[in-house]
Each structure stands twice: as C-alpha cells, then as structure tokens.
Chain A
Amino acid sequence: MSKKLLAAPYLVWIAGFIIIPLALIVYYGLTDRDGAFTLANVVSIGTPEHRKALWLSLWLSLLSTIVCLVLAYPLAMILRNRGVGRGSFIVFIFILPMWMNFLLRTMAWQTLLEKNGVINGILSLLHLPNQNLINTAGAIILGMVYNFLPFMVLPIYNVLCKIDDDTINAASDLGANSIQTLLRIWFPLSVPGVISGITMVFVPAFTTFVISNLLGGSKILLIGNVIEQEFTRGSNWHLGSGLSLVLMVFILLSMAVIAKYDKNGEGSAF
C-alpha cells in the first residue's frame, strides 16, 4: 500500500505531462476544425512543401550526426586514454557550456557568423575576402553540431571507459596491429554508445526549429519550422499535430534501434 502511495506523484506526472498531452496531440492530429475524424493532417506530409521540408530535415540532421560522430569518436578515445581523473575533468569542461541557455549559445553563433560578425571581422583584418556564412544550410549544420556534440561524446566515452585494458592488451599480444584493434575490438565493443549517441543527436537535430530560424534566417524551411508555424502563426493546431505524429514515427523508429543494439543501457550518457 505504502509503496503504491509513494508511486502516486510519478503517476500523476506521467499522466499529466506525458499521457494526456500525447493523447491531445493524437486527437488534434486526427480531427479537423469541426472535430470530425480525418487523416488529412497526417497525409498532408505528402504535399510537395512538407515533403521537401521533411527530406531537408532528414538530410541536414543526418549530415550533422555524421559530423558529430566523426568528431566525437576520436575525442572519446583520447579522453578514455587520459585516465579517469584528467579525462573526467575534460568531460566536465565539455558539459560546462551546456549549463548556459541553448538559445543564447545559438544566438552567439549569429554574432560570430554575421556579415559584420566576428569571423568576417578577423578575415578582413587579415585582408581575406569576407565569407557569406550565415543563413546557409552550412550554418544550420554547424549550429546542430555545436549544440548536440556533447550528446555524442558522452555515451561513447562512457562505453569506452568500460572496456577493460586487458582486452586491448590481449589483442596486441595476439598480434593485432592498432588498426585491427580499433576495427575489431574498440569499435564493436563501443557500438551501444555509438548508437545511443547517434539517436541523441539525430532526434533533436531532426525536429529543431530554433537553429534553422536563428542561423538559417528562416530561409530554409525544416519540418520543425512547419510545425512551429502551424501552431504559433497559422493557428492550425490540427495540421501541426498531424505532422508531429508523422515525426513521432521517425522517433519511435530510432528508439527501436536503440533498444535493439543497446540492450543493457550501456551506452548511456552518465
């Protein structure tokens, strides 16, 4: 009895902030303005504008996930080999900026990338031609990589830390060179971390609208922007919810991938 009582706050939380809002989104997504059942909102993902926004989101978030992985894996290796003390200090430094507001950090990139921004200022000091950096797809990818990189580093670092030195030593005793060790020992053992990192970068990058608004100058329409506009500008919550349901399918898919490869939760961030 007392155990059940203890669980009550969590049940209220789950019901109030997860189940009910989700049910509302499903309800809105599957009805029209008059409250009648319709699939039109979900099917509208097939219109040329929505499809284009969806593919663009997929493409940009995929690219930024790859960049994150390429940057994070070597970093995680270095951190792991530094040993616990120094490694975790660097990890701490790495997470430190995350304590600052996400929006502020993205706006800081605006200042850096602008036409009269810091980077172009330095370039013109060196008498180099100014670059058109902001309001491009590249700027959006940069913003995604910058904001989500820690979510790739941490799970990989954690998984690598759990690999026993003896395993590595055994590999070299048995004649494996360093590339073989990397490909056949390090990497297979770190797959859970990699998978969890990929999901934690891909999902928020896929659904973001803030980064594309701030660094893309709203010229590049991602699926997150479409949904945001349906809610805040278009006053069409039904369409917004319907498109959110479509996105949820993608997110559930990536959850399924995590569950398949990361059965023991080894690749977690903490």
Chain B
Amino acid sequence: MKKNVFVLSLAMAAAVFWLSGCSGKADNPGNSTGSEANNAASENSAGSSNELYVYNWGEYIDEDVITQFEDETGIRVIYDPFETNEEMYPIIEAGAVTYDVVCPSDYMIQKMVENDLLAEVNFDNVPNIDQIDPAYMEMSKAFDPENKFSVPYCWGTVGILYNTKRLEELGVAPPTKWADLWDEKLSGEILMQDSVRDAFMVALKKDGFSMNSTDENELQQAKQDLIDQKPLVQAYVIDQVRDKMIGGEAAVGVIYSGEMLYIQEEVANLGLDYTLEYVLPEEGTNLWLDSWVIPKNAKNKENAEKWINFLCRPEIAKANFEYITYPTPNKGAFDLLDEDLQNNESVFPDTDSLVNCEVFRYLGDDVDGIYNDLWKEVKSN
C-alpha cells in the first residue's frame, strides 16, 4: 500500500515537471496533434483528395474563411497552428506529418528552398495571383528569387511604439531612430523583442550594418551594444509588448506593425489619457513577409493550390485582414478598404520610408549558431 502511495507521489512530481515543461506553449499543438493528424492522414490515404492539411501561425486566419472554403470546395480542412518558424521547420523536415500548405516567414522559406523541402506552385491553378501587388512579388525575390515557391499572405515592418505622455514625463523626445533606445533616461522603460534575429536587427541597424550581417566584428559590436542596453531594458517579451504598452507599463517598445490597428482601437475604446504612436526608425528596419508554400511531400497539392487561390481572392483577403490586422499584399483587398485605413501610415507605410529596410535572409545553420551563442551571452550577462 505504502509503495503505491510513493509511486503516486512520484507521478505527481512528474506531473509538475510536465507542467513546468509544457505550459509555456499551452496553445501549441506540438507533436501530439501533429501525429494525430498524421494518423488520420494515413487512414485516409487511399486516394482521397478531399482533404487539406494546413499549417499556419496561431491566430493568423479568420476562422469563417476556413468554413467558407470548405463549403465552397467540399474539401475538408485540417488546420494546425504553430508558434515559431523554428518550431515548424523540424516538423516539415521530418516529414512525419504531411502538411499540404504552410505559411512560414521569408528567411525560413529560403531555408526550406535551400534544403529542397518545397514544391513549385503551379500558378495555372492560382489565377488570383494577379491580385497580389507586384511590389511584394519583387520583395519575395529576396528569399524566392524566381517567385516559384511562395505566395505572399501578410507583410509588415518592425518599429518603435511609444507612449507620448510617458516620454513627456521623462523629458525625452519621441524616438525617431533605433539609437534612441540606448538613451539612459529610458532606464526600465524599454521593451525589447525576445528573439535573436529581431534583437540583433535593432543593434545591427543602429550601427549602420546589414541585419543579415555575418561579419564577426559587426556581430560582436552588436552584441556589446545589446549588453550595454540590457540595464535599460524592462523586459524581453514578444506578444506582450502590445498589452504592456496599452497598460502603460513602459514608455517605448519594439513591435510588429501588424499590432497597430488593434492597439489604436484598444486605446480609443479604453479612453486612455495617453496615445501610443508608431515610428519606423530612420536607420531602416526589418521588412517581413509571410507567404504560403507547398511542401514537397504534400499529398493534396491541387487542394493546396485551391486554398492559396481562394485566399488571394480580394474579399477573402479583406476578411482575413480585418481579423488579423496585419497588412495585406493583396491590392484587390486594399482597394476594398476604407480610405481611413488605406491612409493609416502605421499599417500601410509609405513605400518611400522603406528605403533602408531589408528582408531577413537565412544565413545557414552555422551563422544561426553564432547568433544564438551571442544572444545567450547577452541574456546571461
């Protein structure tokens, strides 16, 4: 009897472990969902092409759009979300789960192309591609040189969000460039992005280097800058920048432009006595694209193309834009928007202000390793 009790308590300890290990990604399906999907796939693999396995970022589609697609085409959509590109990659690479259509970011698409994981999109099946603004097809060439593998879905920039009232109290002028994030008056008032490339982008751009730098001296300098900045930083966060800034926790934060619409609405709804403004730093910033791609081992490639074509339809792209609020590269959808929105510089910046911007490129596993090690030095300092 006592033995059993001991075993139980061990099980409980194990449960705690598991909790502390897993709860960080509570809304992430992880491998378990993946393998369920896979089981379902193998059960139905007997020639049925009535299915579509979609792998997309969390909260990155209007769910009604999925239903509408299913009603229209009779294709059953199995939809799994992921949280980071890095988490998605090994799952596609291992091929244990065969997703038909995936939505990674620029540099990750390049990595997938280089490692021969993607199939070319048959654009005969995607006539709506002409709705995508050619400027974004051009931008895509940074990671997909011949526009063969990817169809742009969302894009955006990274910039500085600031609290006008808080800055006034601190006696600091509104930021215009990354270097302003090293102002000692902002001690404890800065929210930085908690991801390697985004954090280094800020430091590299500040120093006038490329954010795709592989030069050891430049990276060392960026690392030293980040270490110098660390005492001023309140926290390294990702999604929480939004809520912390709305809550008035910090004066400035590095943020993705797609959050701006939500923030502006929320500030208006809450009737706050301060305003939050977004600025594109003059040194240039990260211009990013998330695009749909089809993995090489996709079982339902034609369905995937139907899906991509469907999402490129202006009304659908508009519905998705309204839900996720990240800028759409779909000019058909853009034309359908209210004029206010079209002129909202935070969401759709003037192309002139993007001159110094760059798109992230995949730098190879070795350079990624160097970035990671330098970032660890910053974090543990």
Residues of chain A having any CB pair with chain B under 8 Å = 33, 48-50, 52-53, 101-103, 114-116, 132, 134-135, 148, 151, 155, 196, 199-200, 203-204, 207-211, 213, 217-219, 221, 224-226, 228-237, 262, 264-266, 268-270
Question: Which stretch from B18-26, B64-72, B135-143, B302-310 is at the chain A interface?
Answer: B18-26
- Tell me which residues across on chain A come within 8 A of B6, comparing CB atoms: 262, 264-265, 268
Contact B23 A203 (CB under 8 A): no
Contact A232 B84 (CB under 8 A): yes
Residues of chain B having any CB pair with chain A under 8 Å = 2-3, 5-9, 12-13, 16-17, 19-21, 23-26, 83-84, 86-87, 89-90, 188, 194-196, 230, 233-237, 247-250, 365, 368-369, 372-373, 376-377, 379-380
Distance in angstroms between the alpha carbons of A221 and B375 in the assembled complex: 11
Contact A265 B5 (CB under 8 A): yes
Distance in angstroms between the alpha carbons of A101 and B22 in the assembled complex: 12
Contact B247 A116 (CB under 8 A): yes
- Tell me which residues across on chain A come within 8 A of B377, comparing CB atoms: 48-49
Instruction: Show 13 A/B contacts (Cβ-Cβ < 8 Å), sorted by A.
Output: A102-B20, A102-B23, A115-B249, A135-B235, A151-B13, A196-B9, A203-B17, A204-B16, A204-B19, A204-B20, A211-B20, A217-B233, A234-B368
Residue of B nearest to A255 (CB): B10
Least CB distance from B49 to A in Å reads 32
Q: How many A-B residue pairs have CB under 8 A?
A: 130
Distance in angstroms between the alpha carbons of A263 and B25 in the assembled complex: 37
Distance in angstroms between the alpha carbons of A208 and B7 in the assembled complex: 23
Contact B249 A270 (CB under 8 A): no
Query: In the complex where A114-B247, A204-B16, A268-B6 touch, is A221 in contact with B376 (Cβ < 8 A)?
Result: yes
Contact B236 A266 (CB under 8 A): no
Distance in angstroms between the alpha carbons of A53 and B380 in the assembled complex: 7
Contact A270 B23 (CB under 8 A): no
With most chain B CB atoms within 10 A of its CB, the pick from A102, A232, A235 is: A235
Contact of A217 (CB < 8 Å), options: B86, B235, B373: B235
With most chain B CB atoms within 10 A of its CB, the pick from A49, A135, A231 is: A49
- Tell me which residues across on chain A come within 8 A of B369, comparing CB atoms: 234, 236
Distance in angstroms between the alpha carbons of A102 and B87 in the assembled complex: 23
Contact B13 A101 (CB under 8 A): no
Query: In the complex where A52-B380, A207-B17, A218-B237 touch, is A269 in contact with B12 (Cβ < 8 A)?
Result: yes
Query: In the complex where A101-B23, A232-B84, A232-B86 touch, is A217 in contact with B236 (Cβ < 8 A)?
Result: yes
Least CB distance from A11 to B in Å reads 16
Distance in angstroms between the alpha carbons of A121 and B121 in the assembled complex: 56
Query: In the complex where A135-B235, A199-B13 touch, is A49 in contact with B380 (Cβ < 8 A)?
Result: yes
Distance in angstroms between the alpha carbons of A229 and B380 in the assembled complex: 13
Distance in angstroms between the alpha carbons of A233 and B237 in the assembled complex: 14
- Tell me which residues across on chain B come within 8 A of A203, comparing CB atoms: 13, 17
Distance in angstroms between the alpha carbons of A266 and B2 in the assembled complex: 7
Residue of A nearest to B23 (CB): A103
